[in-house]
Amino acid sequence: MPSLRARLAIFLLNRLGLWRPWVSEDTLRPYLARLRSKPLAAPVPRRNLAVTKTLREGREIFRIAPGSRRAGKILYIHGGAYVEPAVGPHWTFIARLAGALGLEFIVPRYPLAPESDVGTTMPFMLALYREIIREDAPVIVMGDSAGGGLALALLQEAREQGLVMPAGLVMISPWLDGTMSAPEQARIEPHDVMLRRAGLLAAARWYAGALPLEHRWISPVNGPLEGLPPMLMLGSDCDLLVTDMRHLAERAKSANAPLDYEEVSGLCHTWPLVPLPFPEAAAGRRRIETFVRQRLSET
């Protein structure tokens, strides 16, 4: 059973109604219109962390680096159903990990739907990945929610193109199947305080563009797992997307792919990123830190 603090945090998330934009396409469109009218959240410099910004194809690439830095970099791909930019909890989470690990985080504002689709986003991310792996430091790729799905799809495509694999991949509650077709999701949906199938399906269709939703760029659960680096995936049984995480874990086991899947009970989507303090979120972050340190020590 989740801790009292975790249950309180999830209760507050539910009361705040963070899932409401995702009820349907009809609610998602006006929500995005309001979102696009506001300034984008950006990382705030913190003690012992420097923030720099460059542009690629007119899009911002942030680098968040501690003053005392270890060898290695993290390419972090934020979530938001391919339609939302990084928000405050993303930057807080990244700052925490950058300080704890002593590693530079590279965080792109990648192209978002519905203005763009995966036909623009994937080439953009591949070009950035090519640039990062040419730098003289081992790389970890990390992402949450849609960013976790994009991280897996990116490495599948990079592998197909013969690019060097990173030292590891971390996926936090990844969105792995844009079809939203798993039968078990109907049972889980009432327990998910953040996500709804209809809204996610609308976002997936915008992101897919001309491609079918089953395409591995949108549904990387269908993509090849051979040749990928060691992976860590964190999920929860109250997350609408957990059915596809379990499917990926089964596929990885059958393919002898190096995936370590850890599923907790009673917590929400992307629980390690929740800014409200509770012990399970802290434990999730420590698990990620341990995996990253291990992978970099073995590189």
Residue-level pLDDT at 154: 98
Mean pLDDT across 128-138: 94
Look at 10 and 50; give whichever has higher pLDDT: 50
172's enclosing H/E stretch is strand 168-172
CATH topology of domain 4-297: Rossmann fold (3.40.50)
In tens, the pLDDT along 76-85 reads 999 999 999 9
CA dihedral (27, 28, 33, 34) positive or negative: positive
Question: Domain ranges in the chain?
Answer: 4-297
Residue 19 has pLDDT above 70, yes or no: no
Show the tokens assigned to 105.
């985080």
Q: Give the three-class secondary structure for 69.
A: coil
pLDDT band at 262 (very low <50, low <70, confident <90, very high): very high
- Is the Cβ–Cβ distance between 69 and 134 less than 8 Å? no
Residue-level pLDDT at 63: 96
Residue-level pLDDT at 71: 84
**Mean pLDDT in the chain?**
93
- Is the Cβ–Cβ distance between 147 and 79 less than 8 Å? yes
In tens, the pLDDT along 197-214 reads 999 999 999 999 999 999
DSSP 8-state code for residue 269: T
- Is the Cβ–Cβ distance between 131 and 101 less than 8 Å? no
Residue 27 has pLDDT above 90, yes or no: no
Q: Report the 3 state secondary structure along 93-140.
A: HHHHHHHHHCCEEEEECCCCCCCCCHHHHHHHHHHHHHHHHCCCCCEE
Q: How far apart are CA 94 and CA 75, in angstroms?
A: 11
- pTM to 2 decimals? 0.96
Q: How far apart are CA 65 and CA 200, in angstroms?
A: 33
- Is the Cβ–Cβ distance between 10 and 267 less than 8 Å? yes
